[in-house]
Structure 1
Amino acid sequence: MLVVDREQVLAYRILAHGLHRTGTDPAAPAVFDLGVQDIGQRDSAAVALAARTREPVPAASLVDDPRFTLAWSYRGAPHYHRAAEFPGLVPALLPLTESDARARMTWRDQEVAEAGMPAAEALLTAARALREVVREPMPKGAASTAVTGMVPTGLSRWCRGCQAMHIFEQVMRLAAPLAGIRLVAGAAPATLAPLAGRPPVPAEPDTAGVTRIAAAYLRLHGPATATEVAGFLGTTKRTVTEGGWPEDLVEVRVDGHPAYLPAGQVPELENPPEPGLVRLLPPWDPLLQARDRLVLVPDKAWHKEIWKVIGNPGALLAGGEIAGTWRTRSAGRRLDVTVNPLWMLTRDVRAEVEAEADRVAAVRGFAVARVSWEE
């Protein structure tokens, strides 16, 4: 059995995530095998690509690139996916079982009773209604209002801010891809639109598709466990182990704990290249999506700073470790970048951070970056 420590795992993941920045095609990085989460106001997907491609792609160009589809996918969060592959992903987003549906929707007995139907049926009911409503681009608010009027009242809640009834937010987000609906990239407010060549609402769960997602997670974030894959999907461990666990896996011991990796990735885990690089990773960067956060950052005191409920900072990657956080503020045509290192950084690393900040500024449409340090 292969035995490794967390430093070796991080070196492998840095390689698997394309952070050595060897390619030029923005659609090529393996992170798109899962998708790249996007926070539109902060151009996070474009910044994540800038950390992985030699020629950074401006955020404005990414928005218009037909090779990508932006959609609510895993956990209802917006992700960029390869456009050619996204229709094949949609059936895999349909829960496999009733317990799976409850977990993804965060429903308990109370919500099921109020809906008057099982959670899985409620999700499909919402998807069919969304498909009827969204026949052309329309603002999210207008779509929500129209769908709320079509679905049973038990699928809605009173919104104090709007002083109106709205369909459950998470139900709408999870139903949208099943309805063949994408997000219009770059649009504000959030705007929904039909997918090109709109596929039908899936009739049956796609167990093989869930297995492909689990395998992609293990390639990118492995060695990992079924519990961690389930956390990424927003479901239960049982859903993954009984309905979507890949077969061609190797058990690996990571600092004494069992985890799994696709057999074909073992040579890269055994001998990953030296991760002596510096990157500014955006909030919710693919590397930060791993659920074993103690492997990423062994000092648990930093977890609440890196993974906040709202308003995550970016993460500084240096020398194979998460070495700090960073935030930005616009000042005219200048992007101010404030870095908070976890430990003292060398002069060379600081110079590389400043070069990476210039890259982030260019991607986001700023003329120049200015870096300041929190000591």
Structure 2
Amino acid sequence: MTGDLTAGEVLARRAARHHLLTPAVEGPAAAARVVCGVHAQIMSAAELSLGLRVAGATRSHVRRALWEDRTLVKTFGPRGTVHLLAAEDLPLWTAALSAVPRPGESWADEVRLTPDRTEAVLAAIVDALRGEPLTAEELGEAVVERTGAWAADPVLPAFGGWWPRWRQALGTAAHRGTVVFGPDRGRRATYTHPMRAVPGFAPADQQTALRFLVRSYLHAYGPASSDHLARWLAAPPAWAADLITTMGDELEAVTIQGAGPLWQLADERPAQVGRPPAEPPPAEALPGVRLLPYFDAYVVGSHPRDLIFPGRAADRALNRGQAGNYPVLLVDGVVAGVWHLRRSGTRLAVTVEPLRALGEARRRELEEQVERVGHILEGTATLTVGRLSVGPHA
């Protein structure tokens, strides 16, 4: 065991690496890389997550990086959820994520794709995406034409309706590097082959990719345990523990205020480790007041949970232990409330529910953050402080 870290040291390190102290200047792709991708099931939340981390950025900068500059790519990332990743890193992400064992499927036998049928769907997706981007309906028709009517069976409950059977394989196709999202066609998403989005794309060597995965995660979220890594990936804990052991001397064990052991990168050891306990970091080493949107990477990937969601914050801002279902008010690196945004044209009504009273200085910081949210989302934001009745996002 190398040493013991204070909670303040860990919070300051993570906040700095997430560009919550000083926004990055390199652009949205650099910000996405350092946080291991940005959850993008709600695109406005992804735009805000990246905008908060890039100096002067708005949602237009994020959209340009995604659809014009192609420095970002939209695909299925960790946990099989939709993410924005740095396009340059896609070969590493696909090689790493395709190596992650999928947990036991919860689908009944009559719903689940068999291994043979999964491979048939995957081959059909590759063949169908040789041309222009396709909507989900168009891709589904192409898959059914190449496989059989069974692929179209509406067996998957989704958003109040039913998805066809073949959709079970879409995330696997993304992790194998054979599909990413294309530009929206009106209100409909499209899918395309990664080579159209990232010229010259080819998955990387798997061992290199898994090392990249562990190092990227621990840089952004360390110190962390193998169980934390497994939860972030939705991977079997035993597999994640074995993966950690392959890193050898690249990792070292530490504790946070006596709790652990947890792992951090040995070549990123803070100066305090192994020395007498340090004084708490100065106030300027913590991010002050921040408004983080749904599924922001800082709260989703950070453990232990009670470090980020202390006391009442766990009851108010977690949903059955899951982080991200509420936008959160962050004060000095920890969750101190929840908030909600209602948009009407360019008018943005922001309601914030703090878990404790905000002093005058914090209130001014909050007003500045609301103004920044308005700038990023290209609207005019107003602030109301009060109780929220909005429930968690699914």
What range describes the TM-score normalised by the shorter chain of this pair? 0.7 to 0.9
Q: Does the 8 Å CA contact 1:306/1:315 hold for their aligned counterparts?
A: no
1:239-254, aligned counterparts within 5 Å? 239-243=239-243, 245=245, 246-247=247-248, 248-254=250-256
Matches of 2:257 and 2:324, distance apart in 1: 32
Q: Secondary structure at the match of 1:284?
A: coil
| Counterpart selection for 1:131 from 126, 130, 134 | 126
Answering whether residue 186 of structure 2 is matched by residue 184 of structure 1, we say no
How many residues are aligned here?
361
Change (3 A) 1:300 1:215: farther
- Cα drift, residue 16 of structure 1: 1.8
Change (3 A) 1:207 1:365: same
- Cα drift, residue 9 of structure 1: 1.6
- Cα drift, residue 305 of structure 1: 3.1
| Counterpart selection for 1:371 from 383, 387, 390 | 383
Answering whether residue 297 of structure 2 is matched by residue 296 of structure 1, we say no
| Counterpart selection for 2:171 from 170, 173, 177 | 173
Q: Which stretch shifts more, 297-306 or 273-282?
A: 297-306
Q: Secondary structure at the match of 2:340?
A: strand
Cα deviation digits, residues 285-330 of structure 1 (max 9, x gap): 1101225322211226635634477982211112232111111001
Identity %: 22
1:233-272, aligned counterparts within 5 Å? 233-243=233-243, 245=245, 246-247=247-248, 248-257=250-259, 258-267=261-270, 270=273
Q: Secondary structure at the match of 1:85?
A: helix
Matches of 2:242 and 2:360, distance apart in 1: 51
Match of 1:64 in 2: 64
Q: Secondary structure at the match of 2:351?
A: strand
Q: Does the 8 Å CA contact 2:310/2:334 hold for their aligned counterparts?
A: no
Q: Which stretch shifts more, 330-339 or 218-227?
A: 330-339
Matches of 2:342 and 2:34, distance apart in 1: 28
Q: Secondary structure at the match of 1:184?
A: strand
Match of 2:391 in 1: none
1:79-228, aligned counterparts within 5 Å? 79-95=83-99, 100-101=101-102, 103=103, 106-107=104-105, 111=109, 115-117=113-115, 124-135=119-130, 136-148=132-144, 150-151=146-147, 153=150, 158-159=155-156, 166-167=164-165, 169-185=167-183, 188-195=187-194, 196=196, 197=199, 199=201, 206-228=206-228
Match of 1:2 in 2: 3
Q: Which stretch shifts more, 73-82 or 182-191?
A: 182-191
Change (3 A) 1:232 1:175: same
Structure 1 residue runs of 5 or longer lacking an equivalent are none
- Cα drift, residue 261 of structure 1: 0.4
RMSD over aligned CA atoms reads 3.2
Change (3 A) 1:320 1:288: closer
Q: Secondary structure at the match of 1:28?
A: helix
